[in-house]
Amino acid sequence: MTEYEIVKLVLLIRNREKKTQRDLADLLKVSAGFIGQIEMESSSSMYSYDQLNEIAKYLN
């Protein structure tokens, strides 16, 4: 699975769980804009392994 596929999976689950970019941003202590940047296909920004671990716990 590529990094972008992971981002898309997080986005899919986030939307299914009705969580906002702000919800994830608050969890990760980053701005909602940063989450938006990560979710843009053209961006090179990515979640860190620690952030992905926190997201996995949060979204089950």
Question: Would you state the structure tokens that stand for residue 34, as one six-digit string?
Answer: 């940063």
Please state the pTM of the whole predicted model.
0.88
Give the pLDDT confidence of 4-60 residue by residue, as tens digits. 999 999 999 999 999 999 999 999 999 999 999 999 989 899 999 999 999 999 998
The answer to whether the beta carbons of residues 23 and 33 sit under 8 Å apart is no
Alpha carbon separation from 51 to 25, 58 (Å, rounded): 10, 10
Q: Give the helix ranges, DSSP H, for 1-60.
A: 3-16, 21-28, 32-39, 49-59
Q: Residue 8 sits in which domain range?
A: 3-59
Please tell me the total count of domains within the chain: 1
Q: Tokens 């701005």 sit at which residue?
A: 31
For residue 48, give the CATH number of its domain: 1.10.260
Can you say how many angstroms the Cα of residue 48 is from the centroid of all Cα atoms in its chain? Answer: 10
